[in-house]
A and B are shown apart, each in its own frame.
Chain A
């Protein structure tokens, strides 16, 4: 299966200690961003303190170059190599095309608010430390992989961030993984592995497509070669394809000779 690795400008973004959950989740700009982390044990986090007056919201952003994918893949999985925290109740979502980050440009703090409500996966509820975790991408993601040259994703908390519910007091949920980095060894980097799609089957057979140019609008057969016309046109050239059953055209010119043809019989009278 082909793999596409995340651009090294992937990022964790943090908003900490906001007085309300909305203040953290709906911040227009992240407080902290880093695109250089090799790994981060809180790539995604939703948290509230004991008093319910300090909230944290962390998100992970990545971009993939899908310019080479022109046909919708049959399937695709996002693979993230787990690191430390495995609380996982996360989801992959679409990042708006207006985000600065892409497959050649690092994400910036203002991209924190470029998340969409479009899910690219189901909720992920299990996570493994120090191994690749595979997240199946949904049909919307597969379609976007084919139609977009820049496939931008965010991974966020499902229950509180995606569903926009305030975390209960004294609550912390974190999930961590390795991020893309400049080190040549990509063995733990985020990637998308996909099964390439195939060309959709045409409604027309080869012969019928070709026949459209060979048969005129007035049903004139412009040319004939075996195998290129649809079966409704093809006949053995030695076989007369019809029976007149009446006097032939020579009769119209004043002759009395009758003319009859028997289907499938090479002996003409």
Chain B
């Protein structure tokens, strides 16, 4: 099992969301943990709307709800780190 912590700063409100993403053998995922890390690392220090289309799609599909998706230009990806690496 591998775990990643994604930190997103909503710049207007100043609120920081910390999201933990777990890759567990029980889960069915279209990408591996390594592929996820490779996809997300370039997003660091960028707003979600500035990430690659594939990264945006992953973030909006699995991390955000619709109210946040409408504000992805406000969401700054501060860090993507693997826990217990």
Contact = CB atoms under 8 A, between A and B. Distances in A.
B66 interface: yes
Given A27-B27, A29-B1, A35-B18, A14 B65 contact: no
Interface string A80-107: 0001100000000000000000000000
Contacts of B19: 32-34, 36
A11 to B, nearest CB: 9
Interface residues of B, number: 23
A58 B42 CA distance: 29
Given A41-B66, A41-B67, A84-B67, A28 B26 contact: yes
Interface residues of A, number: 28
A17 B65 CA distance: 16
A42 interface: yes
B20 interface: yes
A29 B29 contact: no
Given A16-B61, A38-B15, A42-B65, A29 B20 contact: no
A109 B18 contact: no
Interface in B1-56: 1, 3, 15-24, 26-30
A29 B3 CA distance: 11
A18 interface: yes
Interface of A: 14-19, 23, 27-42, 83-84, 109, 176, 181
7 contacts: A14-B62, A27-B26, A31-B23, A31-B27, A33-B20, A84-B66, A84-B67
